[in-house]
Amino acid sequence: MRPSELEGKSVVGTEAKIIGTVSGIEIDCLAWKVTHLLIRLTEEMVNTLGYKKPFLGHVEITLSVDAVKAVADVVALNKGIEELKNVIEPPKRTPT
């Protein structure tokens, strides 16, 4: 699967709730592996996970691919919403 095919796919937790959509990936260039998915949260999940929605824009989280169970029409996670609170990684910002 090409990275561009992942972008825009819905991300679903074990409770069959849509968490958000894939907005990008992070790649370990030395190992040539995808390490993380960047996920744009739905408004419902922003509130559920305890984030504050910005006035303009969206909330994006970084999630390790270890949390992915399967990829097909959607990205299915092997974690529920409560478990996600413990595995979400802070966003990495590139210096400008």
Counting as low any pLDDT under 70, the low residues of the chain are 89-96
pTM equals: 0.82
Query: In this predicted structure, what is the pLDDT of residue 84?
Result: 83
User: Any idea what the Cα angle at residue 64 is, between residues 80 and 16, rounded to 5°?
Assistant: 25
Instruction: Specify the CATH number of the domain 3-87.
Output: 2.30.30.240
Query: In this predicted structure, what is the pLDDT of residue 75?
Result: 93
Domain positions in the chain: 3-87
Torsions phi, psi of 43, nearest 5? -60, -40
Query: In this predicted structure, what is the pLDDT of residue 68?
Result: 92
Using an 8 Å Cβ cutoff, are 50 and 61 in contact? no
Query: In this predicted structure, what is the pLDDT of residue 51?
Result: 83
